[in-house]
Chains A and B, each alone.
Chain A
Amino acid sequence: MGEEEVNREPLLEARLKEAGGRLYHAQGPQALAGILAREAGEPLWLEDHPWLTDAVPELEKIGLAPHIAGDTWELEVDTAVTVGLGAVPETGSVLVAGSGPSSWLPLQARRHIILVPLELADLTFSQALDLTRQEGSPMVTWLTGPTRTADIEKVLILGAQGPGELAVIMYEPLDQET
C-alpha cells in the first residue's frame, strides 16, 4: 500500500478525530503527567506498567491522587489509563490487550486514555493483524473512538455502555526509563 511512504501521524490524528477520539504526543513522565492533568478526571486508575508508575510522582506533584490497579481495582472509575500495543492510522484504531485488572479497568470507565509506543503508532492493517496474532493475550481489542450507539432513531450517542471519551498518547520513554 502506498500509504506507508507518507507521514502517518496527521492521518492517525484525523481518523481519531473522525471517530470521536483525540491524539497527543508525550516524551517522558513529566510530559505525560501534564497531559493526564488536562485529560483525566478522578478517580484516576492506572495500569500497573512502568511508564505509568513512573508518572505517579509527577501526577501527585500536580495534585492528582492516582491509583494503581494491582491486587485491588475498581470497575466504575472516571478515568482508566492503560498501555496499548500499537495504532492503525488508516482507521484511527488502537490495539489493546492485557489480562487481569488492567483489562477490566476501562470496561466501565467514563474516559479511557491509552499510551501507545511511538514506534508502533503507524501500523498498517496487516501489520496490526500480525501483532494481534503474535500477542499472547486471550483477547485483543481494536478500539476506534469511544463506544457509541445509534439505536434510537439513528441518533449518534457517544459513551453507550463503555468509555464516552477516548484519548491516545503516542509515548516515548526517556532513555533511563524501562
Chain B
Amino acid sequence: MRQPAVRAACHRALEARERILRDYPRWEDWRAEARAIKTEAISRLDELLARLTREVEAWGGQVFMAQDAAAAREYILEVARRHQVRQIVKSKSMTTEELELNPFLAHAGLRVTETDLGEFIVQLAGHPPAHLTAPALHLDRGQIAAIFQERLGEACEPEPVPLTRMATRYLKPLYRQAQMGITGVNFAAAQEGALVLLENEGNLRLTATLPPVHLAVMGLEKVIPALGQVEVFLRLLPASATGQRLTALVHFIRGLKPHPSGKQAFHLVLLDNGRGQLAQEPELLEALYCLRCGACLNVCPIFQVGAAHLYRRVYPGAIGILLAPYLAPKGDISDLCTQCGACTDICPVKIRLAEMIIHTRRGSARLRPWRFFSQAAGLGLAWPRMYRRVEAGLRLLPRLPLKSRNFLGLALSRQSFYKRMEDKREMEKGEKGKRDKSSG
C-alpha cells in the first residue's frame, strides 16, 4: 500500500472540490435540499419502489426485487442464460461489488470484463477497489505497467497516457463481442421511471448501448420521487466526488434503446440486502441518503492511511462503518474512526456520520469489553481535577515489568509520551553520529 500516494490522491480530490465550491454560494442550501429529498424518499421507500417498478415495466424494462445478494446473483445468471450470454462487459458499480458478482459469474463459465479503467486495472491485479470513485488509487504507473505486461502479455511504457490507450485498445472489441452489459444506477426517478447514470470515460455508454442486453443493478435507496429533483444531486455529486461541475456524461434512460439487431432487452435489479432493515432504524436510516461520492473517504485520516483495503469491506470509511452492521455480509468496523467529524462536515447530504458512528459503537458487541474503560475515561475527563490527580498517581507507580512498546507500559511511564519520543530521537541521533565517525 502506497500510503503517501493514497493521501496525495485524497488531497488532490479535496482541492478540486474546494475550487468548484468557491463558485457555489448556494452549496449549503443545496445540501439541505438534497437531504430533504432523501428524507422524503426513504420515508416513502415502498411506495416509490412500486411506482418505479410500474413505470419501468411500462416502457418495456423488466424489474426484479432481490432481497439479498444470492437472489440478485441467481437472477442475473438466469437472465444471462436466457439470452445465451457468454461474455459480459461491466461498468463500475459498487453494488455489484457488494454482490461479489464477478467471481460468481466467472464460476458459472461467463467471461466478465470490467470496463472502467480503474476497475479494469484492479480486476487484472486481483485486488478489491481501493476507493469508491478511484479503484486503482493504490497502484502507481510502474505497477500498472507490470500488471498489464503480466496479464495482457504486452509491454507498455509506464506512463498514464500509453497505459490508458493500451487498456482502451484491449477493451474496444469486447463491447461488440459481449452479449450483455451490466451497469449501476446513480438515481432512479419513480414518477417517470427514469434512470440516471453518471460517468466520465464513455465506457458506461458503450456498455449500456452496444450489447443486446442491458442489466442495471441499484440499491433500493437510489430511488427519488421525481426527475426534477435530480437537479440538486447533479450539482452536489460530481463536485463532491471529483471536483467537476458535471461528469463528462450523464445518461437518462427512459425506454428500450435501439440496437442494430432490434430493440435492446433491459433488466433492472433492485437490491435490498439489508437496506430495508436499515430503513427501520430511526437513528441510522440516514446512512441510506449516501450518494457514494467518496468525499468522506478523502477527508478521513484513517482512510488516508490504508484506503479501502484497511476496512476489508466493499464500502469503506465513515459510511462503510454505518452500513457494515446491516449490509450482508454483516460486520463491525466501528473502531476505525477517530471522531474528528470531518466526514460530517463534508457530506453533501449532511449525513451525521460521526454522531451515528458513536451510536453504532454503543451497539457494538466487539467493543463491549472496552466500554468500562471508555466510561471510566469519560468520567475522569469530565472532572479535570480528578484526572490530574489520577494521572499523577499513576505516574508514581513503580514501572511495571512490561515491554516498552506495550501500550500499558507507555501509558504508565513516568515520562510523558512527547519526552520519551524526544529522548529516543536524541539517542538515535547520537548513535548515528557515532556510526558516521567510525565509518569516516
Query: Residues of A contacting B163 with CB < 8 Å?
Result: 152
Q: Is A143 an interface residue (CB 8 A)?
A: yes
Q: How far is the CB of A85 from chain B (nearest CB, A)?
A: 11
Q: How far is the CB of B6 from chain A (nearest CB, A)?
A: 11
Q: Is A82 an interface residue (CB 8 A)?
A: no
Within 8 A of A (CB), among B218-251: 227-228, 230-231, 234-235, 242, 244-251
Per-residue CB proximity of A54-80 to B under 8 Å, as 1/0?
Answer: 000000000000000000000110000
Q: In the complex, are the beta carbons of B209 and A104 less than 8 A apart?
A: yes
Q: In the complex, are the beta carbons of A153 and B248 less than 8 A apart?
A: no
Query: Residues of B contacting A145 with CB < 8 Å?
Result: 248
Query: Residues of B contacting A91 with CB < 8 Å?
Result: 245-246
Q: In the complex, are the beta carbons of B202 and A163 less than 8 A apart?
A: yes
Q: Which of B164, B192, B249 contacts A141 (CB 8 A)?
A: B249
Q: Which of A90, A107, A152 contacts B160 (CB 8 A)?
A: A152
Per-residue CB proximity of A111-132 to B under 8 Å, as 1/0?
Answer: 0000000000000011001101
Q: In the complex, are the beta carbons of A107 and B135 less than 8 A apart?
A: no
Interchain CA distance A163-B118 in the complex, whole Å: 19
Q: Is B287 an interface residue (CB 8 A)?
A: no
Q: Which of A15, A126, A130, A157 contacts B164 (CB 8 A)?
A: A157
Q: How far is the CB of A138 from chain B (nearest CB, A)?
A: 3
Q: Is A30 an interface residue (CB 8 A)?
A: no
Q: Is A155 an interface residue (CB 8 A)?
A: yes
Q: In the complex, are the beta carbons of B205 and A153 less than 8 A apart?
A: no
Query: Residues of B contacting A27 with CB < 8 Å?
Result: none
Q: Which of B116, B228, B245 contacts A19 (CB 8 A)?
A: B245
Q: How many A-B Cβ pairs are below 8 Å?
A: 153
Q: In the complex, are the beta carbons of A108 and B206 less than 8 A apart?
A: yes
Q: In the complex, are the beta carbons of B135 and A151 less than 8 A apart?
A: yes
Query: Residues of B contacting A154 with CB < 8 Å?
Result: 8-9, 12-13, 134
Interchain CA distance A129-B200 in the complex, whole Å: 20
Q: Is B141 an interface residue (CB 8 A)?
A: yes
Of the listed stretches A33-41, A42-50, A92-100, A169-177, chain B binds: A92-100
Q: In the complex, are the beta carbons of A139 and B252 less than 8 A apart?
A: yes
A107 touching B251 in the complex, CB below 8 Å, given contacts A91-B246, A155-B160:
no
Q: In the complex, are the beta carbons of A147 and B117 less than 8 A apart?
A: no
Q: Is A53 an interface residue (CB 8 A)?
A: no
Q: In the complex, are the beta carbons of B202 and A107 less than 8 A apart?
A: yes
Interchain CA distance A162-B257 in the complex, whole Å: 19
Q: Which of B8, B117, B253 contacts A139 (CB 8 A)?
A: B253
Q: In the complex, are the beta carbons of B210 and A126 less than 8 A apart?
A: no
Q: In the complex, are the beta carbons of A160 and B227 less than 8 A apart?
A: no
Q: Is B305 an interface residue (CB 8 A)?
A: no
Per-residue CB proximity of A7-45 to B under 8 Å, as 1/0?
Answer: 000000001001100000000000000000000000000
Interchain CA distance A100-B257 in the complex, whole Å: 9
Which residue in chain A gives the minimum CB-CB distance to B140? Answer: A153
Q: In the complex, are the beta carbons of A129 and B228 less than 8 A apart?
A: yes
Q: Is B363 an interface residue (CB 8 A)?
A: no
Q: Which of A129, A136, A137, A148 contacts B230 (CB 8 A)?
A: A129
A107 touching B200 in the complex, CB below 8 Å, given contacts A139-B251, A141-B250:
no
Query: Residues of A contacting B252 with CB < 8 Å?
Result: 132, 139-142
A142 touching B249 in the complex, CB below 8 Å, given contacts A148-B201, A162-B201:
yes
A93 touching B118 in the complex, CB below 8 Å, given contacts A125-B231, A132-B227, A161-B171:
no
Q: Is A86 an interface residue (CB 8 A)?
A: no
Q: Is A146 an interface residue (CB 8 A)?
A: yes
Q: Which of B203, B254, B256 contacts A161 (CB 8 A)?
A: B203
Q: Is B321 an interface residue (CB 8 A)?
A: no
Q: Which of B118, B164, B260 has the most CB of A within 10 A?
A: B164
A133 touching B253 in the complex, CB below 8 Å, given contacts A107-B202, A148-B248:
no
Query: Residues of B contacting A148 with CB < 8 Å?
Result: 200-201, 248
Q: In the complex, are the beta carbons of A151 and B134 less than 8 A apart?
A: yes
What are 11 inter-chain pairs, A to B, with CB distance below 8 A?
Answer: A103-B257, A132-B227, A139-B208, A141-B250, A141-B251, A147-B249, A152-B117, A152-B164, A153-B140, A154-B13, A157-B161
Give 18 new A-B contacts, CB below 8 A, not counting A133-B228, A151-B117, A161-B202. A18-B245, A90-B245, A108-B206, A139-B208, A143-B249, A144-B248, A144-B249, A148-B200, A149-B200, A151-B118, A151-B135, A152-B160, A154-B134, A157-B164, A160-B117, A160-B164, A160-B201, A161-B172
